[in-house]
Amino acid sequence: MNERQIIQRLKRIATDPAARGLADDAALLDGLVITHDTIAEGVHFFPFDPPASVGWKLVAVNLSDLAAKGAGPHAALLSMTIGDSDWDEAFLDGVEAACESYGLKLIGGDTISLTRGAPRVLGMTAIGEAGERVPSRAGGRPGDVLWLVGTLGDSAAGLAQLSDDPEAVGPLVDQYRRPVPQLAAGQVLAREANAMMDVSDGLLLDLSRMCAASGCGAEVDLDALPLSPAFIAERGQDRNARLFAATGGDDYALLAALPAGIDPVSLSLPTRTRVAAIGLLAEGGAIALRDAGGPVKLPERQGYEHRA
């Protein structure tokens, strides 16, 4: 079964309104936003990645889900596989640093040991305080403008560099290992967004999930996708580079559908927040891509989807 099929099966169990029909990034229960993310060795991080960066990443990817709901970090539970004492200590250093940086209180969790050589699997449940509005993936309407907060492709490019050279360093590798959740921007945008989510599995795949939840299609301008100078220096900015950025994943940017009359630039976003209009929600259920050269065929692989 793939990820989509598993979620469809779980809907028979997750019938409480807090689950939001499993069509969202997080649950909403009694004024709390609750999310859980797991990262696995060989899937989300390399065995040779610095363990402190793995600890940081585990916290950051959970906080990104809270950011997409406009929630403030409150508390967390940690699930940890243990084995190598030095690795475990350094991993916890990274968890501690991220928790301190974002004011996240660790309140419990679980530990288990694995057989020697088994890949590490690490999980966290993050709990946030809901704001006045908690946008879901649903709620988007045809005509809403799609805004992206952050940049695309850096992490995927960093992953590619490390795949070629485990000793690679630089800003792309840093983004892959230590993503930064857009918490403050999420709290501002949540007050206005009809729909919002973070971009973790690839822009096109995550957008397709927003479209399915909202009952819309979308039009995306590839030329409008925000790319960092480091990405452009490494991969360029032609059509192939932009498709790579749109499908790579691990970005932890925010994707928000805002009514056409609202410009995020006029809102109280944090200084130096990068935000770009990348398209529109539209009637129907399909995603249409274009760039300066005209229509662009939707790639077969739109992002990363877990499969058995």
pLDDT at 305: 67
DSSP string of 211-266? HHHHT-EEEEEGGGS---HHHHHHH-SSHHHHHHHHH-----EEEEEE-TT--GGG
Q: What are the boundaries of each domain within the chain?
A: 3-129, 145-296
Question: What are the tens digits of pLDDT across the range 279-293?
Answer: 999 999 899 999 999
pLDDT tens digits, 231-276: 999 999 999 999 999 999 999 999 999 999 999 988 989 988 999 9
Quote the CA–CA distance of 242 and 200 in Å, as a whole number.
Answer: 16
Q: pLDDT category, 300, cuts 50, 70, 90?
A: confident
- CATH number, span 3-129: 3.30.1330.10
Q: What value does the mean pLDDT take over residues 94-99? A: 98
If one counts every other C-beta atom within 10 angstroms of the C-beta of residue 67, the result is 31
pLDDT at 288: 97
**Which CATH code for domain 145-296?**
3.90.650.10
Give per-residue pLDDT as tens, 24-57: 889 999 999 999 999 999 989 999 999 999 999 9
- 225, burial (CB in 10 Å: exposed 0-12, middle 13-18, buried 19+): buried
Dist CA 276 CA 196 (whole Å): 14
